[in-house]
Amino acid sequence: MNYNPPLELSSDHESEFNHKNASIIWLHGLGADGYDFAPIVQQLNLAGVRFILPHAPEMAVTRNNGYIMPAWYDVYGLTPISHEDEVGIKISQSYINSLIQNELDRGVPSERIVLAGFSQGGAIALYTALRYPQRLAGVLALSTYMPLKKSLAVEAHVANTKLPIFMVHGVLDEVISLETASLSRELLQDQHYAVSWHEYNMAHNVIPAEINDIRHFLQQILQ
Protein backbone atom coordinates (compact mmCIF):
# COMPACT_ATOMS: atom_id res chain seq x y z
CA MET A 1 0.00 0.00 0.00
CA ASN A 2 1.40 3.39 -1.02
CA TYR A 3 1.12 6.29 1.44
CA ASN A 4 2.17 9.83 0.73
CA PRO A 5 4.04 11.53 3.60
CA PRO A 6 1.55 12.99 6.10
CA LEU A 7 1.00 16.71 6.49
CA GLU A 8 2.50 18.14 9.69
CA LEU A 9 1.11 21.32 11.21
CA SER A 10 1.14 23.40 14.36
CA SER A 11 -1.54 25.82 15.49
CA ASP A 12 0.79 28.04 17.51
CA HIS A 13 2.88 29.16 14.51
CA GLU A 14 6.16 27.79 15.84
CA SER A 15 8.56 26.68 13.14
CA GLU A 16 10.46 24.20 15.29
CA PHE A 17 8.46 20.98 15.43
CA ASN A 18 11.02 19.28 17.67
CA HIS A 19 9.82 21.35 20.64
CA LYS A 20 6.33 19.84 20.63
CA ASN A 21 5.34 17.88 23.73
CA ALA A 22 2.17 16.24 22.36
CA SER A 23 1.01 14.85 19.03
CA ILE A 24 -2.43 14.45 17.47
CA ILE A 25 -2.74 12.05 14.54
CA TRP A 26 -5.93 13.10 12.72
CA LEU A 27 -7.47 10.93 9.98
CA HIS A 28 -9.72 12.34 7.27
CA GLY A 29 -12.88 10.76 5.86
CA LEU A 30 -13.57 8.82 2.69
CA GLY A 31 -12.60 10.66 -0.50
CA ALA A 32 -10.73 13.45 1.29
CA ASP A 33 -7.06 13.89 2.23
CA GLY A 34 -4.92 15.21 5.06
CA TYR A 35 -5.51 18.81 4.03
CA ASP A 36 -9.23 18.45 4.81
CA PHE A 37 -8.77 19.25 8.51
CA ALA A 38 -5.85 21.68 8.20
CA PRO A 39 -8.09 24.74 8.80
CA ILE A 40 -9.37 23.23 12.05
CA VAL A 41 -5.81 22.89 13.36
CA GLN A 42 -5.52 26.67 13.32
CA GLN A 43 -8.93 27.12 14.93
CA LEU A 44 -8.01 24.83 17.82
CA ASN A 45 -5.03 27.04 18.73
CA LEU A 46 -3.25 24.49 20.93
CA ALA A 47 0.29 25.37 21.96
CA GLY A 48 3.01 22.74 21.98
CA VAL A 49 1.06 20.23 19.87
CA ARG A 50 2.19 18.65 16.61
CA PHE A 51 -0.66 17.67 14.27
CA ILE A 52 -0.04 14.73 11.96
CA LEU A 53 -2.57 14.65 9.10
CA PRO A 54 -2.02 11.48 7.04
CA HIS A 55 -3.36 10.83 3.56
CA ALA A 56 -5.24 7.59 2.90
CA PRO A 57 -4.08 5.55 -0.11
CA GLU A 58 -6.21 5.50 -3.22
CA MET A 59 -8.30 2.41 -3.84
CA ALA A 60 -11.42 1.27 -5.65
CA VAL A 61 -14.43 1.68 -3.35
CA THR A 62 -17.08 -0.93 -4.00
CA ARG A 63 -20.00 1.13 -2.66
CA ASN A 64 -19.07 3.93 -5.06
CA ASN A 65 -19.18 1.66 -8.13
CA GLY A 66 -15.47 0.91 -7.93
CA TYR A 67 -14.46 4.56 -8.24
CA ILE A 68 -10.86 5.07 -7.15
CA MET A 69 -10.50 7.53 -4.27
CA PRO A 70 -8.60 8.00 -0.99
CA ALA A 71 -9.95 5.45 1.48
CA TRP A 72 -8.78 3.82 4.69
CA TYR A 73 -10.64 0.62 3.73
CA ASP A 74 -13.24 -0.57 1.24
CA VAL A 75 -16.94 0.05 1.82
CA TYR A 76 -19.32 -2.56 0.49
CA GLY A 77 -22.90 -1.84 1.56
CA LEU A 78 -25.23 1.09 2.06
CA THR A 79 -24.51 0.92 5.80
CA PRO A 80 -20.89 0.72 6.97
CA ILE A 81 -21.47 -2.32 9.18
CA SER A 82 -23.37 -4.48 6.67
CA HIS A 83 -20.18 -6.10 5.30
CA GLU A 84 -16.82 -4.94 6.55
CA ASP A 85 -13.35 -4.91 4.98
CA GLU A 86 -11.43 -6.53 7.83
CA VAL A 87 -8.20 -6.82 5.84
CA GLY A 88 -8.28 -3.15 4.82
CA ILE A 89 -9.08 -2.00 8.35
CA LYS A 90 -6.12 -3.93 9.74
CA ILE A 91 -3.77 -2.57 7.06
CA SER A 92 -4.75 0.97 8.06
CA GLN A 93 -4.33 0.06 11.73
CA SER A 94 -0.77 -1.05 11.01
CA TYR A 95 -0.02 2.20 9.19
CA ILE A 96 -1.38 4.35 12.03
CA ASN A 97 0.66 2.28 14.48
CA SER A 98 3.74 3.22 12.44
CA LEU A 99 2.82 6.92 12.73
CA ILE A 100 2.50 6.51 16.49
CA GLN A 101 5.93 4.89 16.54
CA ASN A 102 7.35 7.87 14.62
CA GLU A 103 6.12 10.17 17.39
CA LEU A 104 7.55 7.89 20.08
CA ASP A 105 10.89 7.99 18.26
CA ARG A 106 10.72 11.79 18.37
CA GLY A 107 10.46 11.63 22.14
CA VAL A 108 6.72 12.16 22.58
CA PRO A 109 5.41 9.79 25.32
CA SER A 110 2.54 7.54 24.26
CA GLU A 111 0.30 9.10 26.91
CA ARG A 112 0.74 12.45 25.07
CA ILE A 113 -0.44 11.05 21.72
CA VAL A 114 -4.07 11.44 20.60
CA LEU A 115 -5.75 9.59 17.73
CA ALA A 116 -8.52 11.51 15.99
CA GLY A 117 -10.62 10.95 12.94
CA PHE A 118 -13.73 11.90 11.02
CA SER A 119 -16.14 9.33 9.53
CA GLN A 120 -14.05 6.50 8.07
CA GLY A 121 -10.95 8.02 9.64
CA GLY A 122 -12.71 8.06 13.00
CA ALA A 123 -13.48 4.37 12.66
CA ILE A 124 -9.77 3.62 12.18
CA ALA A 125 -8.84 5.91 15.07
CA LEU A 126 -11.22 4.07 17.41
CA TYR A 127 -10.21 0.63 16.16
CA THR A 128 -6.49 1.35 16.49
CA ALA A 129 -6.50 3.22 19.80
CA LEU A 130 -8.37 0.56 21.77
CA ARG A 131 -5.99 -2.13 20.55
CA TYR A 132 -2.76 -0.19 20.99
CA PRO A 133 -0.39 -1.79 23.54
CA GLN A 134 0.69 1.46 25.24
CA ARG A 135 -1.47 4.03 27.00
CA LEU A 136 -2.57 6.85 24.71
CA ALA A 137 -3.89 10.27 25.73
CA GLY A 138 -7.32 9.90 24.15
CA VAL A 139 -9.29 9.48 20.96
CA LEU A 140 -11.59 11.78 18.99
CA ALA A 141 -14.30 9.86 17.12
CA LEU A 142 -16.18 12.33 14.94
CA SER A 143 -19.32 11.31 13.00
CA THR A 144 -18.24 7.69 13.02
CA TYR A 145 -18.76 4.21 14.46
CA MET A 146 -16.83 1.25 15.86
CA PRO A 147 -15.83 -1.17 13.08
CA LEU A 148 -15.57 -4.93 13.59
CA LYS A 149 -17.49 -4.65 16.86
CA LYS A 150 -17.50 -8.36 17.65
CA SER A 151 -13.71 -8.51 17.88
CA LEU A 152 -13.31 -5.65 20.39
CA ALA A 153 -13.76 -7.68 23.57
CA VAL A 154 -11.07 -10.14 22.45
CA GLU A 155 -8.60 -7.73 20.84
CA ALA A 156 -8.82 -4.68 23.13
CA HIS A 157 -5.59 -4.02 25.02
CA VAL A 158 -5.63 -3.49 28.76
CA ALA A 159 -3.31 -0.48 28.36
CA ASN A 160 -6.20 1.59 27.00
CA THR A 161 -9.18 0.37 28.98
CA LYS A 162 -9.43 3.81 30.64
CA LEU A 163 -8.81 5.76 27.45
CA PRO A 164 -10.85 9.02 27.29
CA ILE A 165 -13.10 8.84 24.21
CA PHE A 166 -14.72 11.97 22.75
CA MET A 167 -17.50 10.78 20.44
CA VAL A 168 -19.76 13.14 18.50
CA HIS A 169 -22.50 12.78 15.91
CA GLY A 170 -24.99 14.85 13.96
CA VAL A 171 -28.66 14.09 14.46
CA LEU A 172 -29.20 14.80 10.75
CA ASP A 173 -26.37 12.57 9.51
CA GLU A 174 -27.47 10.59 6.43
CA VAL A 175 -24.08 9.00 5.73
CA ILE A 176 -23.58 7.23 9.08
CA SER A 177 -26.85 7.20 10.96
CA LEU A 178 -27.19 8.41 14.52
CA GLU A 179 -28.49 4.93 15.37
CA THR A 180 -25.30 3.29 14.06
CA ALA A 181 -23.13 5.65 16.09
CA SER A 182 -25.29 5.20 19.20
CA LEU A 183 -24.94 1.43 19.01
CA SER A 184 -21.16 1.86 18.94
CA ARG A 185 -21.33 4.16 21.96
CA GLU A 186 -23.44 1.62 23.83
CA LEU A 187 -20.94 -1.13 23.00
CA LEU A 188 -18.09 0.97 24.39
CA GLN A 189 -20.02 1.89 27.51
CA ASP A 190 -21.04 -1.74 28.07
CA GLN A 191 -17.33 -2.59 28.06
CA HIS A 192 -16.72 0.20 30.61
CA TYR A 193 -14.96 2.73 28.38
CA ALA A 194 -15.20 6.40 29.37
CA VAL A 195 -17.19 7.90 26.51
CA SER A 196 -17.95 11.62 26.36
CA TRP A 197 -20.92 11.68 23.95
CA HIS A 198 -22.12 14.79 22.12
CA GLU A 199 -24.96 15.27 19.63
CA TYR A 200 -25.24 18.30 17.37
CA ASN A 201 -27.93 19.63 15.07
CA MET A 202 -25.85 18.93 11.96
CA ALA A 203 -25.44 16.47 9.10
CA HIS A 204 -22.20 14.62 8.18
CA ASN A 205 -19.89 17.56 8.82
CA VAL A 206 -18.13 19.60 11.51
CA ILE A 207 -19.54 22.79 13.07
CA PRO A 208 -18.01 25.57 15.25
CA ALA A 209 -19.71 24.39 18.46
CA GLU A 210 -18.16 20.96 17.95
CA ILE A 211 -14.70 22.48 17.42
CA ASN A 212 -15.02 24.37 20.70
CA ASP A 213 -15.93 21.16 22.52
CA ILE A 214 -13.01 19.35 20.86
CA ARG A 215 -10.64 22.10 22.06
CA HIS A 216 -11.87 21.75 25.65
CA PHE A 217 -11.51 17.97 25.53
CA LEU A 218 -7.97 18.17 24.17
CA GLN A 219 -6.96 20.80 26.71
CA GLN A 220 -8.28 18.56 29.47
CA ILE A 221 -6.46 15.39 28.42
CA LEU A 222 -3.23 17.18 27.44
CA GLN A 223 -3.03 19.70 30.29
Phi-psi region of 31 (alpha: psi -120 to 50; beta: other; left: phi over 0): left
Q: Are 16 and 106 in contact (CB under 8 A)?
A: no
- 119 catalytically annotated: yes
Neighbours of 97 (CB within 10 A): 14
In the chain, which residue ranges form alpha helices assigned H by DSSP?
38-44, 86-105, 120-131, 152-155, 178-190, 208-221
Active-site choice (157, 177, 198, 204): 204
Sign of the C-alpha dihedral, residues 80, 39, 167, 50? Answer: positive
> Is 204 considered catalytic here?
yes
Structural Rg of the chain based on CA atoms: 16
- Among the listed residues 36, 74, 85, 173, the single catalytic one is 173
State the CB neighbour count (10 A cutoff) for residue 35. 12
Catalytic entry in 11, 119, 143, 184? 119
Q: Any idea which residues carry the catalytic annotation?
A: 119, 173, 204
